Amino acid sequence: MPTSPGVVADPAPRSAPVLPLRARRFTLDGDERLEGHIAKLCAMALRGVQRIVPGHRLQAVWLGGGYGRGEGGVLRLPGGDWPYNDLEFYVCLRGNRFLNRRLFGPPLHALAETLGPGAGLDIEFQIISLAQLRHSKPSMFYYDLVAGHRQLAGPERLLETCSRHSDSRCLPLAEATRLLLNRGTGLVLARQRLSRNPLRADDADFIGRNIAKAQLALGDAVLTVFGRYHWSCLERHRRLLALLQGAAQPWFQELRDHHAAGLEFKLHPRQSLPDAEALSSDYQRVADFTLPIWLWVESRRLGKEFRSAREYVASPVDKWPETSAWRNRLLNARVHGPAALFFRRSNRHPRERVLNALTMLLWDGEKLENRLPAALRSGSPTPDPRWACDLVARYRTLWEQVR
Cα separation, 259 vs 280, in Å, equals: 19
Task: Check residue 20 and give its pLDDT.
Answer: 39
Instruction: Count Cβ atoms within 10 A of the Cβ of residue 76 and give its class: 0-12 exposed, 13-18 middle, 19 or more buried.
Output: middle
String of DSSP letters for 361-382: HHH--TTHHHHHHHHHS-S-SS
Q: What is the mean pLDDT of residues 290-315?
A: 96
Report pLDDT for 266: 97
Model confidence pLDDT, tens digit, residues 3-19: 433 333 333 333 333 33
> Residues with Cβ < 8 Å from 19, sequence gap 6 or more?
46, 152, 153
Name the average pLDDT for the chain. 86
Model confidence pLDDT, tens digit, residues 147-166:
999 999 999 888 888 888 98
| Whole-prediction pTM | 0.87
Per-domain residue ranges of the chain: 32-166
- The mean pLDDT value for 85-113 works out to 95
Alpha-carbon span 340 to 240, nearest angstrom = 43
Architecture per CATH, domain 32-166, reads as: 2-Layer Sandwich (3.30)
CA-only gyration radius of the chain, Å: 22
Distance, in Å, from the CA atom of 185 to the CA atom of 240, rounded to the nearest integer, reads 24
More confidently predicted of 160 and 267:
267
- Amino acid (one-letter) located at 137: K
Distance CA 161, CA 348 (A): 34
Positive/negative CA dihedral, 301, 310, 351, 212: positive
Instruction: Please compute the mean of the pLDDT values over residues 94-119 and round it to a whole number.
Output: 93
**DSSP string of 78-137?**
TTEEEE-SPEEEEEEESS-HHHHHHHHHHHHHHHHHHHHHHHTS-EEEEEE-HHHHHHSP
What is the rounded distance in angstroms from the CA atom of residue 175 to the CA atom of residue 181? Answer: 10
Query: What pLDDT digit, counting tens, does each position of 166-224 carry?
Result: 899 999 999 999 999 999 999 999 999 999 989 999 999 999 999 999 999 999 999 99
At residue 24, the pLDDT reads: 81
Q: What pLDDT does residue 211 have?
A: 98
pLDDT score recorded for residue 365: 62
User: How confident is the model at residue 373, as a pLDDT?
Assistant: 53
Q: What is the pLDDT of residue 21?
A: 40
Distances (CA, A) of 54 to 59, 110, 266, 395: 10, 17, 36, 40
pLDDT of residue 375: 55
- Per-residue confidence (pLDDT) for residue 17, from 0 to 100: 34
- Return the half-sphere exposure (C-beta side, CA atoms, 13 A cut-off) of residue 165: 25
The tens digit of pLDDT for each residue in 236-258 reads 999 999 987 766 677 888 999 99
* Residue-level pLDDT at 175: 97
